[in-house]
Amino acid sequence: MSMGADRKPQIRRTTPPSESVVARWYENASLLDSYSIDLSASERSSMRELATRTLADPPAWQKALIALRDAMVTPFGIKTSDTVRSSRGSHERVEFFPVHWEGEDEIVLGADDRHLDFRLSLLRRHSPAGTSLIATTVVHTHNALGFTYLNAIRPFHHLVVRANLARCGRTRLQ
């Protein structure tokens, strides 16, 4: 894929990949979505490196959203990003997301809480048309608090996932 430094990477909504490790989570999910971005045919980064490029060093607006989210959920006993971060050593997480599974072409991050469980899969898919990175989010809520929380963050979730994939694409181009 040839792309000038002034062009934004194209993020596409896509069908959740059936070959993903988290595919068994798709049924009855409270939230299920997938977005993809094209990767260069020469892309040889590990999945951990791709996940780090996608999630690490978020822009100020994302940091502000995380801080607001943490402040709002604390009174309800929902885990904050710092609580999740401290639950695993640095090698067992990317940013504050715990790593649940890692393979050659997929990494699965996520956390479980009493209100909901979530997984984020980053899957590299090779095809004759090229290579893409697919971010799939799967959430299962357990109670009314989880359902309310999910619906409150849902609009921001879509913005954050798309922005993170775009950042991964831009980082690759530099």
With b for 16 or more beta-carbon neighbours within 10 A and e for fewer, the 29-48 pattern comes to: bbbbbbbbbbbeeebebebe
pLDDT average, residue stretch 9-20: 94
Strand order in the sheet with 31-39: 11-14, 31-39, 130-141, 116-127, 106-112, 97-102, 93-94
Q: So what's the pLDDT on residue 1?
A: 40
pLDDT (0 to 100) of residue 22: 98
Chain centre to alpha carbon of residue 126: 19
Q: Give the number of C-alpha atoms closer than 13 A to the C-alpha of residue 44, restricted to the C-beta side.
A: 1
pLDDT at 79: 74
Alpha-helical runs (H) found in the chain:
47-55, 60-73, 81-86, 144-173
Q: In this structure, are residues 129 and 53 in contact, taking their beta carbons and an 8 Å threshold?
A: no
Looking at the chain, the whole-number percentage of residues with pLDDT higher than 90 is 53
pLDDT of residue 160 exceeding 60, the answer is yes
Whole-number percent of the chain with pLDDT over 70: 88
The pair of structure tokens assigned to 120 is 């984020």
Model pLDDT for residues 62-100, shown as the tens digit of each residue:
888 888 887 887 777 777 777 766 665 555 888 878 899
pLDDT at 19 over 80: yes
Provide the 3-class DSSP secondary structure of residue 20.
Answer: coil
Strand partners, 110: 119
